Structures are given as C-alpha cells and as structure tokens.
Chain A
Amino acid sequence: MTDEQIIRLFREGKREKAFGKLYGQWPKINRLIRQQGGNRDDAKDIFQEALIVLYNRLESQDFILTGSLNGFIYQTSRNLYLKKTKKDSLSPVSTLDNEYVGEWAEEETHAHTQTGLAEKALEKLAEKCREILQFFYMEKRSMEWIAERLGLKSEQAAKTQKYKCLEVARNEYQILLGKEDLV
C-alpha cells in the first residue's frame, strides 16, 4: 500500500486499518531499537509512540508529505528512543538510509513529549470523565449524542459534566506543570 493510500485511510477516519498497514514497519523498528541497546518492550512502546506522532503530524493543517511515511516513523522512533534514554540530543538525519530526509520528525518528537504530562493529568480522571472528553474532542461527537450514550439527563448536563471534568484535569495538569518547573 502506498503512502498516499495510507494517508487517505487516515483522512477517511479508518485509523485502525491505516495503523495496521504501518505495522509492516515493526521488524525494522524492532531491529533499530535492539541495535540501540533497547529490548523488545522498548521497541513496542517506541513504535507505538512514533505512530501517534505520525498521526498528529498528518492531522495538522500544514502537512505536506515531503518524505516517506516509513522514513518518518524510522526517524521518529530513533529520536524518541534517544530522548528516552537521554543518551544524546536528537540525532542528525544524515545516517538514514536515503528513505527520508526532513526535519519535522525532530520537531514532532519534541512536541510529543510535552503531551506526556497532560496525559498523566488525564489519568487522574474518572473513567466516565475520560470517556466524555474523548467522545467530544477525539471523535467529535455532539453533546446530545454523548448525553444519550452515557445516560445523562440532558445535553446541558453532559456539557456541565464535561467542563467539570476539564476543570479537574486542568488543576491536575497545573500541579504537574509546577512540579516539572521545580525539577
């Protein structure tokens, strides 16, 4: 499947299928992380993160495909791993096998690590809260739909609930950010 076809799948909302196609890259990434001294679980985590980074990038408005998707995943995985092990600053792209030459993989890696704290804050939320937020922000569902799905009284109730959840998450996030600053 070509890059264009995979991108089309993402755009059509067939994310799982698209990710499935990209999993063809797994052996290569596994090898890469092993070479860098990581184990299989590291490779799994890193590959997962790289796919998320790629998706975020594809979703951004100014996205133009300048290299190959595989190249992007490879470079992002490498950067993520290096960042994780704090071995080095982000690696140069020159060592790559001609597949991908570009800089956005690096920018994305950095941006991605910033969302880690927000995720931690969200983990403190109750399951129902997380559901509301995901339905609304990720799946772009209407409040009416959400209210019905979660058995809330009305659309307004769902809305209030959503803001309350957001408020809790914000407070948690603020605490985490403060801790980060202290470190």
Chain B
Amino acid sequence: MRNELEYLAEIESYVLGNMRDKASFEQKMASSTQLQQDVMMLKGLIQGIKVQALRSEVQSVQQSYFITKTVSWIGVAVVATAIVLGLIYQMVNKSDADPNASNKPTENTIHQSATSPQKSVAMIDTSVVLSTKKSQVDKQPVRKQVPIAPEKEIDKPTTAIDVPEELYQPKYPIADSALPYQYYQLAGNKNEVIETPSGIIFSIPRNSFMDAAGNKIDDAYQLQIKEAIQFSDIMKAGLSTWSANELLETSGMFFFNAIKDGKDLRISPDANITVSIPKLQAANDMQLFDGVRKTNGEIDWVNPQPQIQYLQTVSMNQLDFYPPAFEKILNEFSGIPTPDIRMDRQIRDSVIAQDKVSKAYADSVYLSFAEDIGKEKKKLQETNNVTGAKNKNTWRRGGVRRDYLGFFIHLFARRPKVDKYQRGVNPITVLSFWRTEFNGTILATRAFEERMKNIHYTCNEDVLRCYTDNMDKTIQYCDSLAASKLTGVSKENFLRFYEQKLTLRPIDSTSTTPELMALFAQKQQELNELFKRTSLATLEKIEQENQEANRRTAEHNSQESQRLRYNNSLVGLSRLPAFPWPVLPVSPVATRNYNTFRVSSPGWKNADAIRLEQMMQARTFKVRVDSASKFDILEAYLIPDGQLSFIRMTRNGNEFTYIANNPADYKLAVVGYQQEMPFTYSQSNASSGNNIKASLSPSSEQEIKDFVSAGASQKLSDDILAELDFLSFKANDAKKATVRKGIENLRMILLPYVFPCSQQAKLPPEKRKEQEKRIVSSAAVR
C-alpha cells in the first residue's frame, strides 16, 4: 500500500508540474504503458475533480439567477397589481369624498416639519460645529467687518445646542504666538511653489511682493509662515473658530507674511498668489477669512472670500507620462543579468545609476523606442564581431546591433515575431511636453496623467494631439475631441473622462499658449534630430567596429593558420633526431617517398619504425589557472627558445595542456583579461609533467609584452605582440557586446509595455512573464 501511495505521489508531482527530474520520469514513461495509462488517468481524475467543483458553483449561480428572475417578475406583478388597485380605490372613494379629507395631508406635512428640527438637533449634537456654521454661512455668504466686541460681550449661541465651553471662550487671547514661525527663502524673480509640513501649498508668481515704496521685489526675500491645520493645534494655539458671533467650521488656519531686510513687504495689487489647503472636511463651501487682531489679542475672522475655481496643476516633475508599468519594469529589469555576473555589474556601472534608475536614464531608454515607430530605417548589414559566430539570420530592432548572443536568444527563445514598426505614441512627442516649461498647463495635471495612461493603450498619437494641440482649451473639450477619434472600449473610456466635466482652466494658461506651442514644436524637432543623430552615429560606430573586428579576425586567423602549419611541421620533424630546426615554415605538402620491402610469407605485415627514443621526448605541459572563470579572456602560451613560433595551449575549463614533441625549453605566459584589465602569470623555464599552478596577478600590457618578447627573435616577438594586441581587442569587444546585449534585452522586455498594441503585448500576462524570464535566463546562461 505504501509503495502504491508513493507511486501515486510521483505521478501526481509529474502531472502538477512539480517534478524536478522530469526527463528521467518521461524516459521511464516511454518504456511503460502502465505508467502512461496511470498518468492519463490521474490527469483525467484531476480534471474531473475540477469539473465537479465547477458544476456545483455553476448550479448555485443558476439557482440564484432563476430566483432573481422569478422575484423580479413577482415584483413587477405586485407593483402592477398595486397600481391597478390604487386606481380602483381612488375611483371608488372619489364618489363619496369627505369635504375635510383634503386637509389631512397638510396636517401630516406640518407634523413632519415639526419633527425635523428635532432630528437635526439630534444630529447636531455630535457635530456641532459643522452644521451651525453651514446654515449661517449659507444665509450670509458675505459678511461685513464687525466692531471689535469686548470679551464679556461674546454670548453663547442662542440655539439649544450644547457647545463645549472651550469652543467659544477665548481663554488664551495671544496664544497663537506660541506657534513657531517657519521661514522660507524665496527668489522674487521666480515663480515659487512651497509646501508646508501640514501640506498647505503656496503658489507665488514672480514679483508678487513690493516694499513700502511700491518697488517690486526682484531678489531674495523671506516668507514667514505659521500654520494650524489640525483641530488640536488650533485649540492649543487658542485660535478661535468664531467669526463675530458665529461659529465657523475650519479647514485650517495659517499666517503668512513676507519680509526683506527685516521689513514687512506688501502684496502687489496685480499679484496672483494662491494657497491650497488640504481638505479635511467634505464641505465644498469653504471660504477664506482674514484674521483681525482684537484689542484683547484675540483674532476675529472677517471678510470671507470664496474659493477660486481653477484647475489644480502640479509640477511636471511629479507626473508620470511613461507608458503604464514602463518605469516599474525598467526598475525591475535594469539589473537584468547579462552573460555573467561581473558583466552585469559592468552594465550597471556604465549605464545605470544605483537601485532606482534616474529619470534621465529612463527618458533615454524610452526615447530609444522612437525608432520602432520610425518611417525609414537604415538597413545595417549584420556583421559579426570577433566574439561571435557567422550568422545571417541575425535580426535587429532598434539602433543597436544584435550580437551573437542575441542570435542565440533569437534561435532558442522562440520569440514571437517582432513587428517591424510599432503603432503607438511616439516617445519624442511625450518627452517634448513633459518639461517644467509646461507647468501650469492642462498637461501638468493629474487629470491629464490619468488620460495619458489611456492614450498609451489607444496606440494612437492623434488622441494625444487632441490635448497637446489644445493646451488653451479645457480638458473636457480635449476629451470630447479624443473620444471622437476612437471606437469601442477606448471611446467609452474617453467619454467617461468627458463626463467628469473638467471645464476649469489652469491659472494663466491661455496667455502663454502660443509660446508653449512653439516650444513644443521646437522640442519635438530637437529631440527628433538628437535621436536621428544619436542612432545614426551609433549605427555607424557599430558598423566601423564590426568592420574592424572582421579585419582583425581575418588577419589573426591567417597568422594563426600559418603558425599552426609551422608548429605541425615541427611535430612531424621532431620524430627525426635531426638538428638544427628549420628556420622557415615548411610547406605541409611533402613530396611522396616510398619505403620498399621484400615480402616472403603471406599474412598481416606492418611497416613501422622504432621511435622509442624520440617518443620519450614527448612531454605534457599542464597549467592550472586559479579562478579561471572570473576572466573574460584567458589564454596560455608556450614560447620555445630558439624557434619562430609560439604555441597556444589547449584549454579545458581552468586547465591548459600541450604535448610537446621536441626537446626545446619553453617560457610560459598566461594572460587574462577581466573587464579589460590585464592579468598575467609567467614562468621562464616551464617544467613539464607536473601541474603548474598559475595564479594571475594584475599587470600592465607593457609588462606582458616585455616578458614574452625578451630573448625572442624579432619575428617571434612581433607575432606574440600581435597576438596580445588581438587578445586585448577581443576583451574590449566582448565588453561592448555585453553592454549592448544588456540594453537590448531590457528593450525587448520593455517593448510590449511601450507599445501596448504590439504582438508581444497581446500575449497573456503569464506568457509575457515567461518570455521575460526566458530573456533574463538566456542572458544569464552562456
């Protein structure tokens, strides 16, 4: 039984996809029909379990559906019957109506109205301040300044409301002096916006203040602020919530004053200073009262002003116009693993700041997608760099060449087809207005931020134009225009926006509109040019690099084949105990000679020569390199004394080997590059047989060159130096390719977010997650 259960558990873990060693199970399955059947059966059973559960759910939904239907029909029937009966009753009663009957409803009304004050009193008991004030302010929206009344003349309200003593008794006449001043240093020639700790926002346009002589302040001045927003603060500070004899419902109190050189400043008559106070109450009829100090030090609140009805704008810096989730994904994947961990760090260092990417970086990544919208693209013939294999199918998207790794990702990741051109909002357009110059326009609002998210989903830049081209109009006007350009769900969304009736304008938006429109156009042009310039320069640079890489690889290959031929010829020759070594490379095509023997019996014969003595000379050189994996490039060379060619040892993991068939002495040089930094290990008279443990240490390229070329012939020295140059070039190229790969991977992940109408974006979320994982993991495994 126990075995049976374990057997089931194993099948279950396979069916649920939890099995670790899936491959071996599948192998087992391939050879056992019973196991296949059992797997099928378990799958069927699990499906059956789900269907059973679903059936009971659907049944309960069905039941409630029919019950609701029945009840609503009964309801309709009851109402209809009631109406009919009511009509019949009225008709019957009309004939024998009582003359006094008409008074009855009136009595009823009187009774109701008599009870309503009681009701409101009961309600007022818990919220005294709100109701009292509200009714009084409604009746008298504008109040004249009232004469200052002595303390004792302040009466209790005449209503029967039980008002707490401290609310109307000014116990601490000048207690507001206990509130600390906040000081802000501001510039007179700038538009300033400040937010206090309690969240009051002062918006002060330039030149808002003037001195006693009437000169506008054009340089630094200070703003003094005191605030009491919380009710407890107000109480503690002894500030009253009374206006003459009326109780006020407060949303907060503040004191503000501008000073320069210790002297108070006045507000210019044409200044447009606004203050926004956090809404603590739901009330919409808040007014701003001026505080007047009474002789007893207490403050009375007079001269109420209604709120201004402007569209609330925020700073462009606080808004997010990227495609939804763009920034999140960018942050999440900016550290996307590139071929291996040290390269990952490299990318972070070279292009990405800290944990959260900077706006400038995010902008530049976003801008790079402009090309996917472009009309014309310069076709770049894909060539390979030294680190890559030949590949004609390499695909490219964006301004960055795909290197060999991209090719493998393409090959193995089975990515869906990438649309050649994307339909969507051009990043250039977005970045052209997402600038502080556009503060104060309808674009610098939370409302537009919300719309922008939807605009990205429409993939239709014309919709964005409805707003950017109409900065002088209201948001509602733009909403209607946008809705007219759309169909389906998007249209519904914009109609819903239209229903919000945002008909207010931001302060002073219209006066600067032509200027801003010109700036918008100018910025678009600038960004377009910048983009073209940068992408063209990038493409050209890459092409140049590719050509250079190809040239150097070809050159290196030809040198290498020459060297190999030479080394091979040495191996062949070494079988003969002949000295000296030839001074020139020998052609591998030798003329054919014959060894002729006499045969005197049938059977197997073997033409051979005894080479014991020479074979004894074969020596194995083995070098084991410490932490070999941390080097991007690692090579070990043997440089024979008195020869013209050097030997590159065969690498296997962290071990290099070479079997030498000649008796020469060898110098050993191990060269590694880590992020372009050279490391070396050298040994003058390398010993064969035992493992040489090579621990590389930082070095300069010159040191390596000096070591390997010391005592070598001119030709050997030149060859080795060329080889080392090539190594260094290769290290550099590998680094560049990795950085590009990282950026390109990131772009691949971001693409569906930037272009919500692209094919990749249409994949279900889990598929997309899978794809992201694939990109990340394929980059991590080389």
Contacts and interface: CB of A to CB of B under 8 A. Distances in A.
A128 interface: no
Contacts of B52: 119, 122, 130, 134
A20 interface: yes
Contact of A177 (B8, B41, B61, B489): B41
B47 A118 contact: yes
B8 A138 contact: no
Contacts of B4: 167
Interface in A48-107: 48, 51-52, 55-56, 61, 63-64
A170 interface: yes
A81 to B, nearest CB: 17
B60 interface: yes
Contact of B51 (A26, A47, A52, A63): A52
Given A23-B61, A48-B62, A167-B4, A115 B51 contact: yes
Interface in A132-155: 133-134, 137-139
B65 A173 contact: no
Contact of B48 (A15, A20, A23, A115): A115
A160 interface: yes
Given A44-B62, A170-B8, A170-B38, A121 B57 contact: no
A20 B64 CA distance: 9
Contacts of B767: 61
B60 A16 contact: yes
A118 B62 contact: no
B61 A138 contact: no
A163 B58 CA distance: 28
A117 B44 contact: yes
Contact of A121 (B48, B50, B65, B762): B48
Contact of A169 (B12, B45, B64): B45
A166 interface: yes
Nearest to B762: A64
A180 to B, nearest CB: 12
B61 A20 contact: yes
Contact of B65 (A23, A61, A137): A23
Nearest to B8: A163
Contacts of A56: 47, 50-51
Interface residues of A, number: 42
Nearest to B44: A118
Interface string B742-777: 000000000000000000001010110000000000
B764 A122 contact: no
A164 interface: yes
Contact of A137 (B41, B44, B49, B58): B49
A39 interface: no
Contacts of B60: 16
Interface in B5-47: 5, 8-9, 12, 38, 41-42, 44-47
A48 B45 CA distance: 20
A115 B47 contact: yes
B58 A48 contact: yes
Contacts of B45: 118, 121-122, 166, 169-170, 173
B54 interface: yes
Contacts of B64: 20
Contacts of B610: none
B630 interface: no
Most interface-central of A16, A61, A138 (chain B CB within 10 A): A138
A23 B48 CA distance: 23
A166 B12 contact: yes
Interface in B187-246: none
B73 to A, nearest CB: 14
A134 B45 CA distance: 11
Interface in A151-181: 160, 163-164, 166-167, 169-170, 173-174, 177
A26 B38 contact: no
B415 interface: no
Contacts of A35: none
A139 B46 CA distance: 12
Contacts of B58: 19, 48, 51-52
A26 B65 CA distance: 10
Contacts of B612: none
Given A16-B61, A48-B58, A115-B48, A166 B53 contact: no
Most interface-central of B42, B53, B65, B762 (chain A CB within 10 A): B53
A61 B59 contact: no
Nearest to B2: A160
Given A44-B62, A166-B8, A114 B44 contact: yes
B137 to A, nearest CB: 44
Contacts of B54: 15, 51-52, 55, 138
Contacts of A121: 45, 48
B55 interface: yes
Given A121-B48, A138-B53, A61 B8 contact: no
B59 A163 contact: no
A20 B50 contact: no
Contacts of B47: 56, 115, 118
Nearest to A119: B48
A68 to B, nearest CB: 13
A113 to B, nearest CB: 11
Contacts of B48: 115, 117-119, 121-122
A166 to B, nearest CB: 6
A173 B57 contact: no
Interface string A1-30: 010100000000001100110010010000
Given A26-B65, A56-B51, A133-B49, 7 more contacts: A15-B57, A52-B58, A64-B762, A122-B45, A122-B48, A167-B4, A170-B41
15 contacts: A19-B57, A19-B61, A23-B65, A64-B764, A118-B48, A133-B49, A134-B52, A138-B50, A139-B53, A160-B5, A164-B5, A167-B4, A173-B45, A174-B41, A177-B41
Interface of B: 4-5, 8-9, 12, 38, 41-42, 44-55, 57-62, 64-65, 489, 762, 764, 766-767
Interface of A: 2, 4, 15-16, 19-20, 23, 26, 44, 47-48, 51-52, 55-56, 61, 63-64, 112, 114-115, 117-119, 121-122, 130, 133-134, 137-139, 160, 163-164, 166-167, 169-170, 173-174, 177
Shortest 9 CB-CB distances between A and B: which pairs?
A118-B48, A138-B53, A19-B61, A163-B5, A118-B44, A23-B65, A119-B48, A137-B49, A133-B49
